[in-house]
């Protein structure tokens, strides 16, 4: 398909090939959209954004190596022009808040993608926010109010730095300290320091508890 010089250039990041294919199909229904790259994890998304400077990045929130929230934060640093649309299975106040704080412009539930993806993309084209209808209704009713049952977990989560969140995800995915150090381009000793600080901040005592924490907070997949 021939694209115009003014086509909206879009990066798709999702660890499921079938999802990426579906998103590409939906986007290519519009002559004004061009998928410039597809990637399967958050770190690849950041690198492609740095190289290609897409207009919009569509990011799954639970990707391996680097999750969608942290990828959003880094993409906004390396390519400030790129607007980010988070795609998620989770209707979560915490994830929404973290995504927006990281710099995302929109939050679309995967169940709504077939109906609202193009509307979301068109909103971000204008640098306007876009949320799934359910999310918009929740925001109107009670914006960002925490669920009391999860308040302690949310307070703990907010204590972690972006780097510590990266370390948590990688450790929860079964990476060794050495592998984490290589991926983050830091020393193994620094990883050990981050790991110790994380365990103290979150009051955790084993890697099993760390994995459970990461899953509960959607930093990694179960």
Among 1-10, 108-117, 141-150, whose mean pLDDT is lowest?
141-150
Confidence of residue 182 (pLDDT cuts 50, 70, 90): very high
Q: Comparing C-alpha atoms, which of 29, 130, 137, 132 is closest to residue 83?
A: 130
Is residue 5's pLDDT more than 60?
Answer: no
> What is the per-residue pLDDT for 221?
66
Under 8 Å CB-to-CB from 54, ≥6 apart: which residues?
Answer: 9, 10, 11, 36, 37, 48, 79, 82
3-class SS of residue 221: coil
Look at domain 148-216 and name its CATH class.
mainly alpha
Residue that the structure tokens 């959607």 belong to: 218
Q: Comparing C-alpha atoms, which of 95, 68, 70, 64 is closest to residue 173?
A: 64
> Is there a common fold for 8-141 and 148-216?
no
78: tokens are 């390396």
Element holding 168 (H helix, E strand): helix 162-172
pLDDT higher for 164 or 57?
A: 57
Is residue 159's pLDDT more than 60?
Answer: yes
Asked whether the beta carbons of 219 and 169 are under 8 A apart, the reply is: yes
pTM for this entry: 0.74
Among 41-45, 57-61, 105-109, 134-138, whose mean pLDDT is lowest?
134-138
Confidence of residue 139 (pLDDT cuts 50, 70, 90): low
Confidence of residue 157 (pLDDT cuts 50, 70, 90): low
10 beta partners? 35, 56
Q: Comparing C-alpha atoms, which of 213, 214, 218 is closest to residue 88?
A: 218
Mean pLDDT of 10-34: 93
Among 50-59, 89-98, 142-151, 167-176, whose mean pLDDT is lowest?
142-151
Which sequence spans correspond to the domains of the chain? 8-141, 148-216
Architecture of domain 8-141: 3-Layer(aba) Sandwich (3.40)
Element holding 199 (H helix, E strand): helix 188-202
Under 8 Å CB-to-CB from 222, ≥6 apart: which residues?
Answer: 215
Mean of the per-residue pLDDT values for the chain? 86
118: tokens are 């193009």
């Amino acid at each position: 398909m021939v694209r115009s010089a003014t086509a909206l250039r879009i990066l798709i990041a999702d660890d499921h090939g079938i999802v990426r294919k579906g998103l590409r199909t939906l986007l290519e229904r519009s002559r004004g959209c061009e998928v410039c790259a597809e990637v399967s994890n958050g770190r690849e998304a950041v690198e492609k954004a740095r190289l290609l400077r897409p207009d919009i990045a569509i990011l799954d929130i639970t990707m391996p190596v680097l999750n969608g929230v942290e990828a959003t934060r880094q993409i906004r640093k390396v390519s400030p022009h790129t607007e980010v649309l988070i795609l998620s299975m989770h209707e979560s106040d915490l994830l929404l808040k973290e995504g927006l704080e990281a710099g995302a412009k929109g939050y679309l539930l995967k169940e709504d993608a077939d109906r609202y993806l193009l509307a979301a993309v068109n909103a971000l084209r204008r640098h306007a926010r876009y949320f799934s209808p359910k999310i918009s209704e929740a925001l109107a009713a009670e914006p960002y109010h925490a669920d009391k049952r999860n308040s302690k977990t949310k307070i703990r989560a907010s204590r972690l730095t972006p780097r510590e969140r990266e370390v948590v995800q990688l450790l929860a995915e079964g990476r060794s300290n050495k592998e984490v150090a290589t991926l983050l381009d830091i020393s193994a000793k620094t990883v050990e320091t981050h790991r110790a600080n994380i365990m103290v901040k979150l009051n955790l005592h084993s890697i099993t508890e760390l994995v459970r924490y990461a899953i509960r907070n959607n930093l990694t997949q179960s």
